[in-house]
Homo-oligomer: A and B are copies of this chain.
Amino acid sequence: MDLSPIIHNRLCLYLRSLRRLQEEDVHKISSQGLAERFQLSAPQIRKDLAQLGEFGIRGVGYDVDELTCRLSSILRLDRVHPVVMVGMGNLGRALARYLGFNHGAFRVVAGVDKDPDKVGLQVAGFQVRPSSELKRVVQEHDIEVGVLTVPPDAAQGNYNRLVEAGVSGVLNFSPARVQAVPEVPLKDIDLRIYLEQLAYFLPESDSEKELVSSAS
């Protein structure tokens, strides 16, 4: 099965919505119900789901528990994936808490940092370890995912070390292009893009406002 990223994203959304319904003890839901409840498109839900198999019952709708199960399994979100943070600066510590919090499928179980001052800090249920122990940490906890929150110039090196240590995927929050090997997929996340997207909808800038330095 080969899911395009755009459909994959929607499926994740559906799964979250379904989990919400589970919490509310809803057991049956129609595509229309889902759409209204979570501001989605009913035909699109049906089309997306139909691509994966026949999960619904005509005239009735979808079984919330069953669909949650099937989707979780397809999206590989039915089992816990241990995560290590690489770089325990401000962003690293914040993300460790944020991503670890209330998010079943991932658990941030360890963090490393090069800076001896950070080693030993207690963060979100684990103690920061020195970068030199990365490989051991990964093996100890059976870690699958590494999250890079290091300065840009350290990103490539730490990606390489994560590959070496044996993780299966890497998330890169540092604003640097990293060259990845095909066996260990890399996902770049540049948070600046969101501000930039927003800027486009901001009102025309006053000429009074300060120019940005690098604009000639």
Contacts and interface: CB of A to CB of B under 8 A. Distances in A.
Interface of A: 3, 5, 8-9, 12, 19, 22-23, 38-39, 65, 68-69, 72, 75-81, 83, 89-91, 93-95, 97-99, 103-106, 144-145, 168-171, 177, 185, 187, 189, 191-206, 209-216
Q: How many copies does the complex hold?
A: 2
A9 to B, nearest CB: 6
B202 A75 contact: no
B200 A3 contact: yes
Interface of A, helix, strand, loop or mixed by DSSP: mixed
Given A80-B211, A216-B68, A75 B196 contact: yes
Contacts of A72: 212, 215
Given A185-B198, A202-B76, A205-B79, A191 B98 contact: yes
A150 to B, nearest CB: 12
Contact of A104 (B12, B22, B201, B214): B214
Contacts of A201: 168-169, 185
A89 B193 CA distance: 22
A13 to B, nearest CB: 8
Contacts of A78: 205, 211-212, 215
A172 to B, nearest CB: 10
Contacts of A81: 195, 199, 202, 205
Contacts of A168: 201-203
B211 A79 contact: yes
Contact of A169 (B68, B198, B204): B198
5 contacts: A5-B197, A144-B202, A168-B203, A187-B194, A187-B198
A22 B214 contact: yes
A191 B170 CA distance: 14
Contact of A196 (B77, B185, B204): B77
A214 B19 contact: yes
Contact of A106 (B99, B195, B209): B195
